[in-house]
């Protein structure tokens, strides 16, 4: 990501986003805050998130590191969910606001949100890890042993 200098359009500066309120950046915090502050939207989001996690767990049987694949897959589907939600409510939004909203969605750290919501999902199921969830959903799953360092 970069921004162009107004004085010299050929000069490009990197855009840096700082951590905000304990989150990766402000757009990630805003997205999570917006979802969390609307009970109906939050319940809808959590329900969709559960479906997404379960769908991704079932669909990542061939991945070498299923835990990482589940987090990445969940992040991709959460981003898609947010974009679809944004498109559903755009009929009365001027294009400038819509463009800004879509730009902000590209700045959201979807991996961070996926990890947070996977953790909530695991807690609601009284599970300690993704490996435990996978083993409950797939009898053939054998977690990769972490190498022990001496």
Greater confidence, 32 or 63?
A: 32
pLDDT in tens, 65-113: 778 888 888 888 888 888 787 666 555 556 776 677 777 888 899 999 9
pTM over 0.75: no
> Per the structure block, which two tokens stand in for 41?
């939207």
The C-alpha atoms of residue 70 and residue 133 are separated, in whole angstroms, by 11
pLDDT in tens, 13-31: 555 678 888 999 988 998 8
**112: burial class by Cβ within 10 Å (0-12, 13-18, 19+)?**
middle
Checking 43-46 for CB contacts under 8 A at 24+ apart, the result is 45/81, 46/117, 46/120
pLDDT in tens, 27-46: 899 888 888 888 988 888 78
> Per the structure block, which two tokens stand in for 143?
């977690």
Residue 32, Cα to own-chain centre: how many angstroms? 10
The C-alpha atoms of residue 60 and residue 68 are separated, in whole angstroms, by 10
pLDDT in tens, 104-143: 888 899 999 989 888 988 888 898 988 888 777 766 555 5
The C-alpha atoms of residue 119 and residue 77 are separated, in whole angstroms, by 16
**37: burial class by Cβ within 10 Å (0-12, 13-18, 19+)?**
exposed
């Amino acid at each position: 990501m970069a921004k162009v200098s107004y004085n010299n359009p050929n000069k490009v500066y990197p855009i840096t986003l700082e951590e905000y309120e304990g989150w990766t950046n402000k757009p990630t915090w805003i997205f999570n805050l917006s979802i969390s502050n609307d009970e109906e939207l939050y319940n809808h989001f959590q329900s969709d998130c559960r479906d997404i996690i379960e769908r991704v767990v079932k669909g990542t049987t061939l991945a070498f590191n299923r835990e990482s694949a589940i987090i990445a897959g969940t992040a991709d589907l959460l981003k898609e969910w947010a974009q679809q939600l944004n498109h559903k409510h755009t009929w009365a939004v001027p294009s400038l606001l819509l463009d800004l909203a879509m730009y902000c969605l590209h700045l959201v750290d979807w991996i961070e949100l996926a990890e947070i919501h996977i953790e909530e999902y695991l807690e609601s199921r009284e599970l300690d890890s993704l490996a435990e969830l996978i083993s409950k959903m797939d009898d053939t799953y054998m977690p990769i042993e972490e190498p022990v360092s001496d």
